[in-house]
Chains A and B, each alone.
Chain A
Amino acid sequence: MNFFARITRRGWLKLVAGTVGAFAFSQNAWLPWNSPSRRHDEEILWGHVQRILNHPESAAVIGRKYLQCRTCEADAGLLTKLIAGGVELVTLESDTGSEKLRKILRSRIREDFLNDRVVTLEGWVLSLTEARLCSFVAVKTDKSFALG
């Protein structure tokens, strides 16, 4: 009896679900921060970050250092969620969005420093938000992070 002859209807459904799940997992699409709307958020954030940062290449250098320590965060969607921290990024889809984001980040960075959410990367004492922002740039610009 071959494999297909033995499989039941319930078994077939399980197999399909598993295969789809595995594919989704490989693409990180099952994760809540990788839903289409989140992908849109990621693009909004990336657009603004490119405008905000003076020198994204430098930010990426710092970001890579952070991701060496926290490999689990090496995902643009997850970083978008962590950086946004509850802010609906769609609300920043305007010409003044970058300025708004800059203010939000500035305030969050300050809060990080006040509340001990601080990381030391290669000696730099940085806020967690800064480190994640740099990591976001690293993930977006470095192909080695493409699979998360």
Chain B
Amino acid sequence: MLFDARQVRDSKTIESDICIVGAGPAGITLALELANTPFSICLLESGGFDYDEEIQSLNKGDVHGRTYYELVTTRLRYFGGTTNHWEGMCRPLDAIDFEERPFMPFSGWPITLQDLEPYYPKAMKLCQLQSTSFEVSDHQEELPQFFNEHIRAGRTTTRIWNMSPPTRFGWTYRESIVKAENILLYLYTNVVEIETNDHATTATRLRIANLSGSRFWVKAKLFILAAGGIEVSRLLLASNARRPHGLGNDSDQVGRYFMLHPQARVGRILTTEKGKALFAQKTDDFSYWSPIRYGVSVSEKLQRAEGLPNHVMFFQKGLDESPESVKALKRLLRGEDQDIIGELRKVLSDLGAIADRLYDKFFEKDEPEMLRAELKLDHAPNPDSRIMLGTRRDALGMPQPILDWRLEIEEKRAVRRTTEILGEVLGAMEIGRLKLEKWLLSDDNIWPDDIGSYHHMGGTRMSSSSKTGVVNSECRVHGISNLFIASSSVFPTSGFSNPTLTIVALALRLADHLKKVAS
């Protein structure tokens, strides 16, 4: 049943067994799983069925430290949430992503891949994947030869993504949600505070506001926060009536260990004739209609031996525009330009770029083909990488978030080493030579500006103890008996796989648990 919260009279209290905050992939999955059960479900969505600029502006916040996009652009506040601009890349996390790795401080989940594996098939179905296999052997025909062959040396492996159409959860599952008799879907409903009992051990009700001015309450036996990675931390921190530092935050864990998937261009590959042939694509790699995508990683064995985080390298065809110095050199050689001194200055100012081009010429007789290499990284958990509350408030009076996300020099070194190993593999296969990007050559913590992704993870990490995280292995907030989180904010580590499929799998697992708890 569908309700417009702008029509709800002030101070009303809506009651249900289970209240889900947020109708993105996690919230919709939970609602679908709990549809047609004996429980009454209240699903609260901040926006409506379509994008609304004013509601979207509630996502505003500040970014401190490392450069990142405007926060207002990175999440969508309407039914379906961020699946409304999702690209559709699906891949489960790897077993190693769940492990505590000695070389990665704060790594390790309190659950393993085996705990989540039973839920991935259904998650894939909800994400409408054509293929549910992530094994290279099942995709050999679709892959350029390189992605089948490099594996033989044992140093690297191919990673497969299956593409969702992409499923816009809001469109695809709207009817099922609206028609479910036990689901009350409230649009234009913003939770501004979670209230608890005196000891903050039980959540009692949610304080609701919206931009049209209605103020009311939602009571439930169980509450599930299914909002985005930043919003969940923000709401817990802002709910500070009983606990000055916010709910679930007695050990100062809320908002910490915030992760993205840093993705940066790490090199370019000058291919040999053999390389050109091996990279020849059988499918249009980056088209929307391609059913799979693929990349290369250093093998798990080598990751462990070298202390490298999980990652994937993507290859894209295309040579950069020649640097100005090279263009100037060409003009000089052709005698095209009269301003010889000016051109010489350009040439002399960038001898490095010219040396690069000379190497290209030395290496390959014909016009070489260039591939660009981009690395997507398992962002190491870092307590100082965090979401905090700012002093500015949004239109509903909630403190706006501040994002201060961090990357460490060790991660940059790991990116360089990983790229070098992949360069060695390409060399050994006589495919080409890899040149590291300039930013990787300096041993400092300087990264390119545009490396952040839209994948918000962490902030309310899963842990076996309240000292080291915010939710337990069942995604319940430590110390609060009826408050759960279904969001990528519970990820203790990020892996490199796009988070949506795992968000859905975790929501399915939580739904199973809630059915038991609510009974």
A interface residues with partner B (beta carbon < 8 Å): 53-59, 61-62, 65, 106, 109-110, 112-114, 116, 118, 120, 122-127, 134
Asked if B409 lies at the interface with its beta carbon under 8 angstroms from chain A, I say no
Interface size on B, residues (CB 8 A): 30
Asked if B437 lies at the interface with its beta carbon under 8 angstroms from chain A, I say yes
CA distance A120 to B423 in the complex (A): 10
With CB as the reference atom, state the residue of chain A lying closest to B425.
Answer: A113
Whether A118 pairs with B427 at a CB distance below 8 angstroms is yes
B interface residues with partner A (beta carbon < 8 Å): 153, 267, 352, 355-356, 358-365, 419-420, 423-428, 430, 433-438, 440-441
Q: Which residues of A contact B423 (CB under 8 A)?
A: 118, 120, 125
Whether A118 pairs with B362 at a CB distance below 8 angstroms is no
Whether A55 pairs with B362 at a CB distance below 8 angstroms is yes
Given the known interface contacts A109-B427, A118-B424, the answer about A55 and B361 at a Cβ–Cβ threshold of 8 Å is yes
Whether A58 pairs with B358 at a CB distance below 8 angstroms is yes
**Residue of B153, B355, B424, B438 touching A125 (CB-CB under 8 A):** B424
Whether B441 pairs with A110 at a CB distance below 8 angstroms is no
5 contacts between A and B (CB under 8 A): A114-B153, A116-B424, A124-B435, A124-B436, A134-B362
Minimum Cβ distance to chain B for residue A131 (Å): 11
Q: Which residues of B contact A116 (CB under 8 A)?
A: 424
CA distance A113 to B363 in the complex (A): 16
Whether A124 pairs with B424 at a CB distance below 8 angstroms is no
Whether A122 pairs with B361 at a CB distance below 8 angstroms is no
**Residue of A58, A113, A127 touching B359 (CB-CB under 8 A):** A58
Q: Which residues of A contact B433 (CB under 8 A)?
A: 124-126
CA distance A55 to B425 in the complex (A): 25
Given the known interface contacts A113-B424, A124-B359, the answer about A54 and B352 at a Cβ–Cβ threshold of 8 Å is no
Whether A122 pairs with B362 at a CB distance below 8 angstroms is no
Q: Which residues of A contact B428 (CB under 8 A)?
A: 110, 113-114
**Residue of A57, A110, A118, A126 touching B358 (CB-CB under 8 A):** A57
Whether A123 pairs with B438 at a CB distance below 8 angstroms is yes
Given the known interface contacts A113-B427, A125-B427, the answer about A120 and B362 at a Cβ–Cβ threshold of 8 Å is no
Q: Which residues of B contact A58 (CB under 8 A)?
A: 358-362
Whether B361 pairs with A118 at a CB distance below 8 angstroms is no
Minimum Cβ distance to chain B for residue A80 (Å): 20
Apart from A124-B435, A127-B427, 14 more pairs, CB < 8 Å:
A53-B362, A59-B362, A62-B355, A113-B425, A113-B428, A114-B153, A114-B428, A118-B424, A123-B436, A123-B437, A124-B433, A125-B434, A126-B427, A126-B433
With CB as the reference atom, state the residue of chain A lying closest to B440.
Answer: A123
Name the residue among A56, A110, A114, A125 with the largest chain B CB count within 10 angstroms: A125
With CB as the reference atom, state the residue of chain A lying closest to B155.
Answer: A114
Q: Which residues of A contact B360 (CB under 8 A)?
A: 58
Whether A61 pairs with B434 at a CB distance below 8 angstroms is no
Q: Which residues of B contact A123 (CB under 8 A)?
A: 267, 435-438, 440-441
With CB as the reference atom, state the residue of chain B lying closest to A118.
Answer: B424
With CB as the reference atom, state the residue of chain A lying closest to B357.
Answer: A58
CA distance A104 to B121 in the complex (A): 51
CA distance A67 to B441 in the complex (A): 18
Q: Which residues of A contact B441 (CB under 8 A)?
A: 122-123
Q: Which residues of B contact A126 (CB under 8 A)?
A: 427, 433
Minimum Cβ distance to chain A for residue B275 (Å): 13
CA distance A18 to B424 in the complex (A): 47
CA distance A54 to B434 in the complex (A): 19
Q: Which residues of A contact B355 (CB under 8 A)?
A: 61-62, 65, 122
Q: Which residues of B contact A118 (CB under 8 A)?
A: 420, 423-424, 427
Q: Which residues of B contact A53 (CB under 8 A)?
A: 362
CA distance A53 to B358 in the complex (A): 12
Q: Which residues of B contact A56 (CB under 8 A)?
A: 362
With CB as the reference atom, state the residue of chain B lying closest to A137.
Answer: B362
CA distance A124 to B363 in the complex (A): 12
CA distance A81 to B364 in the complex (A): 26
Q: Which residues of B contact A59 (CB under 8 A)?
A: 362
CA distance A120 to B327 in the complex (A): 26
Whether A125 pairs with B358 at a CB distance below 8 angstroms is no
